């Protein structure tokens, strides 16, 4: 460590003396030996954060280098779990992530061999970081530069670019259920190379692509579409950010940035003054008082800066500041998550295609947004506003939407290995957690009632009640919301040897009404693997599959209503970890 770095570290440690709420300030500067793609971030209800990315070697070389990465970091900056997921023989890149039911993480990106490119969705368990499954789908020819995902109330929506060199660009929107089964898709034009989508409070969708804005129904049909106009260089680069009374986007014109808000009719509510930037999308978040918090990269005197602006809910500027980082900054991409206590966790990534390496290529930074002063780093006021600009306007367009289908190509579980990202910590005070352990063994039908030892404890898996009835064997963790006096309580439940009943419904109705659309199997024990076959009443093989529900469709063709013979071979894991194999045959009634 050089002398300047050592002095900075000593100053930061001396400055750090208290904890803001449940969290603490920290700055981790990553010492990357490999190139990572853009790192995305999501925050859990308890304040922990999820980071996910992929290596550029995964995109360029594939094979043994094809890996995705994900880790969970708690509110004190400590890594709870961190894994790499190996995808053999395929080139892969992760583009976005979302949280499903607070129990699972869904990664979304592209995977391809040769010139054939598909998309993938992969589930990861939030509690332990283990991957549950990856599904690969072929929507046609896709382009890995434009993808986003959003999840709300069990609705999974993905968005991207269909690229066909012989036709104009088309975008797509597709819905999946919580089992990652395909529901419906629409492709449409006009569409450009950049864009993002979000689910609104009424479950409709708001999206942009290039300078086009779209508002779509929950079935994917357009309510309205507009093209943003202004001077020759104006374009949309960021958003959508859903607020209580509209949606906020970020635009740029010759590296002068601005925000604008529209209502649910697509009408402009306000447009901010221009502010200086580098032309890259800023990180946008809502604050609990209704203000909008913007993190962006700026340039002064040949030095790249990390800057912040707070806009009031009417678009006026509240404050502008520049954070004084300890080293030269090379990051080009920013993503952030602000929680309901105004704690911001900001991840910076470097774009190796256009950036030069510096002292800070990638970093993770946490701090209180509205604090009087940062405990970790110093800030300075900044003058970067301009009132000389051409206001934007919107012109109506008529997009063309067409239904189409995704074909599932593969389903598997990537190999999971530990992943350690090396970094220099600033400000973070490392404190050893003191574990408390309570365990019990119950009969199969018994329940364990647990009360947390204090109001300052929260459940690791985000259960809100302090009192809890436990029936499923395993270890349940509770954390003390304190970075200065941390502790973790382990409640371990074991049960006597129990049977593992296996259940198959005797009917289902694949009519896309959201109820019993798939034939799924169930067990009181963990189902680790299964293969099924469907026969007609005359013994002819109709369909087969593994580790997935029966949809009642074959290659998009509907199977007629009637009775079918369903035979399944399965493997279960009981409460003691013993593997149990079995076979079951049942008559299934398919109702249309």
pLDDT digits (tens, 9 = 90+) for 222-269: 999 999 999 889 999 999 999 999 999 999 998 899 999 999 999 999
pLDDT higher than 50, residue 9: no
Q: Same structural domain for residues 509 and 491?
A: no
Same domain, 323 and 238: yes
Do residue 465 and residue 370 come from a single domain? no
Q: Total structural domains in the chain?
A: 3
- Reported as type and span, the H/E element at residue 11 is helix 3-15
Whether 120 is covered by a domain: the verdict is no
Report the pLDDT averaged over residues 141-168.
79
Indicate the average pLDDT of the chain: 84
Residue 106: predicted pLDDT: 97
Beta strands in 375-500 (DSSP E): 379-381, 385-386, 393-396, 400-404, 407-412, 415-418, 423-426, 434-442, 448-451, 457-459, 467-470, 474-480, 487-495
Taking residues 118-133, report their average pLDDT: 92
- The predicted pLDDT at position 573 comes to 82
pLDDT confidence of 12, banded at 50, 70, 90? very low
User: What average pLDDT does the segment 102-117 reach?
Assistant: 85
pLDDT surpasses 80 at 427:
no
* Whether residue 364 sits in one domain with residue 338: yes
Q: Which two tokens stand for residue 112?
A: 């391809």
pLDDT score for 560:
87
Q: Which of 469, 495, 521 is the C-terminal boundary of a domain?
A: 495
Is position 442 within any domain? yes
Higher pLDDT, 49 or 385: 49
236, 359: one domain: yes
pLDDT at 358: 65
Q: Are both 256 and 386 inside the same structural domain? A: yes
In the block, tokens 């994900």 appear at 70
Last residue of some domain: 333, 365, 391?
Answer: 391
| pLDDT on residue 101 | 85
223: number of Cβ within 10 Å: 14
As a whole number of angstroms, the distance between CA 381 and CA 401 comes to 48
Verify that 549 and 471 share a domain, yes or no.
Answer: no
d(CA 140, CA 308): 41
Question: Is 502 a residue whose pLDDT tops 90?
Answer: no
The residue among 337, 370, 391 that closes a domain is: 391
Instruction: Identify the CATH number of the domain in which residue 474 sits.
Output: 2.60.40.3010
39-49 residues labelled b (16+ CB within 10 A) or e (exposed)? bbbbbbebbbb
Q: Which pair of structure tokens corresponds to residue 72?
A: 């969970």
Question: 387 and 264, same structural domain?
Answer: yes
Q: How far does Cα 554 stand from its chain's mean position?
A: 31
Residue 581 domain flag: yes
Res 104 pLDDT > 70: yes
Looking at the chain, the number of H-run helices and the number of E-run strands are 2, 51
Distance CA 185, CA 470 (A): 40
449, 327: one domain:
no
In 3D space, the residue among 282, 285, 281 whose CA is nearest the CA of residue 342 turns out to be 285
Domain range for 514 is 502-590
How far is Cα 440 from Cα 491, in angstroms, rounded to an integer? 8
Q: Kindly tell me if the per-residue pLDDT of 129 is higher than 90.
A: yes
CB-count exposure of residue 11 (10 Å: 0-12, 13-18, 19+): middle
Same domain, 539 and 447: no
Q: Are residues 548 and 582 in the same domain?
A: yes
Element (H, E) at 296: strand 292-300
User: Dihedral of CA 544/546/551/555: which sign?
Assistant: negative
Q: Give the pairing of strands 507-508 and 579-590.
A: parallel
Per-residue model confidence as pLDDT tens digits over 506-564 = 999 988 887 888 899 988 788 989 999 999 888 888 888 888 899 888 766 788 888 99
Same domain, 460 and 512: no
Give domain status of residue 37, yes or no: no
**Residue 38 counted as domain residue:** no
339-382 pLDDT, tens per residue? 988 899 999 998 766 656 667 889 999 988 876 556 667 777 77
What share of the chain has pLDDT > 70, as a percent?
Answer: 86
Residue 10: predicted pLDDT: 27
CATH of the domain at 574: 2.60.40
58 lies in some domain: no
Residue 330, pLDDT score: 86
Tell me what the mean pLDDT of segment 455-471 comes to: 81
Contacts of 513 (CB under 8 A, 6+ apart): none
């Amino acid at each position: 460590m050089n002398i300047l770095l050592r002095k900075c570290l000593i100053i930061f440690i001396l400055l750090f003396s208290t904890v803001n709420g449940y969290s603490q300030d920290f700055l981790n500067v990553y010492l990357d030996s490999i190139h990572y793609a853009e790192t995305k971030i999501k925050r859990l209800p308890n304040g922990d954060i999820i980071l996910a990315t992929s290596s550029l070697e995964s995109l360029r070389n594939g094979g043994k280098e094809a890996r995705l990465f994900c880790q969970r970091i708690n509110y004190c900056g400590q890594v709870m779990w961190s894994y790499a997921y190996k995808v053999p023989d395929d080139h892969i890149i992760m583009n976005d992530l979302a949280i499903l039911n607070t129990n699972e993480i869904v990664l979304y990106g592209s995977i391809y061999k040769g010139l054939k490119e598909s998309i993938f969705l992969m589930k990861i368990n939030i509690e332990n970081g283990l991957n549950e499954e990856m599904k690969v789908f072929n929507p046609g020819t896709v382009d890995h530069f434009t993808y986003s995902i959003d999840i709300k109330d069990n609705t999974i929506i993905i968005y991207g670019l269909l690229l066909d060199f012989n036709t104009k660009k088309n975008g797509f929107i597709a819905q999946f259920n919580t089992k990652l089964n395909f529901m419906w898709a629409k492709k449409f034009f006009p569409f450009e190379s950049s864009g993002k989508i979000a689910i609104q409070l009424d479950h409709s969708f708001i999206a942009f692509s290039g300078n086009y804005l779209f508002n779509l129904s929950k079935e994917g049909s357009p309510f309205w579409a507009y093209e943003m106009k202004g001077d020759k260089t104006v374009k949309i680069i960021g958003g959508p950010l859903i607020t209580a009374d509209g949606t906020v986007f970020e635009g740029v014109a010759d590296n002068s940035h601005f925000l604008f808000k529209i209502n649910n009719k697509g009408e402009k509510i306000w447009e901010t003054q221009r502010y200086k930037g580098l032309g890259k999308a800023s990180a946008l978040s809502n604050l609990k008082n209704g203000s909008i918090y913007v993190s962006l990269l700026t340039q002064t005197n040949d030095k790249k800066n990390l800057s912040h602006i707070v806009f009031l809910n009417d678009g006026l500027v509240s404050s502008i500041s520049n954070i004084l980082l300890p080293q030269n900054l090379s990051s080009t991409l920013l993503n952030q998550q602000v929680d309901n206590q105004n704690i911001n966790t900001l991840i910076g990534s470097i774009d190796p295609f256009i950036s030069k390496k510096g002292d800070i290529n990638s970093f993770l930074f946490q701090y209180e947004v509205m604090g009087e002063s940062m405990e970790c780093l110093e800030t300075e006021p900044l003058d970067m506003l301009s009132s000389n600009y051409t206001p934007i306007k919107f012109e109506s367009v008529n997009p063309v939407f067409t239904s189409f289908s995704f074909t599932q190509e593969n389903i598997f579980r990537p190999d999971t290995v530990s992943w350690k990202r090396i970094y220099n910590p600033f400000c973070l005070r490392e404190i050893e957690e003191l574990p408390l352990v309570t365990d019990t063994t119950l009969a199969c039908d018994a329940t364990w009632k647990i009360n947390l030892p204090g109001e300052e404890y929260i459940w690791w898996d985000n259960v809100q009640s302090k009192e809890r009835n436990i029936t499923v064997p395993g270890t349940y963790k509770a954390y003390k919301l304190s970075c200065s006096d941390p502790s973790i309580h382990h409640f371990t439940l074991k049960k006597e040897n129990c049977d593992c009943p296996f259940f198959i419904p005797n009917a289902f109705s694949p009519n896309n009404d959201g109820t019993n659309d798939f034939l799924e199997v169930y067990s009181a024990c963990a189902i680790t693997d299964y293969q099924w076959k469907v026969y007609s009443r005359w013994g002819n093989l109709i369909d087969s599959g593994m580790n997935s529900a029966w949809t009642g469709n074959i290659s998009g063709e509907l199977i007629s209503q009637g009775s079918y013979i369903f035979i399944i071979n399965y493997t279960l894991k009981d409460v003691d970890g013993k593997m149990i194999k079995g076979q079951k045959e049942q008559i299934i009634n398919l109702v249309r």
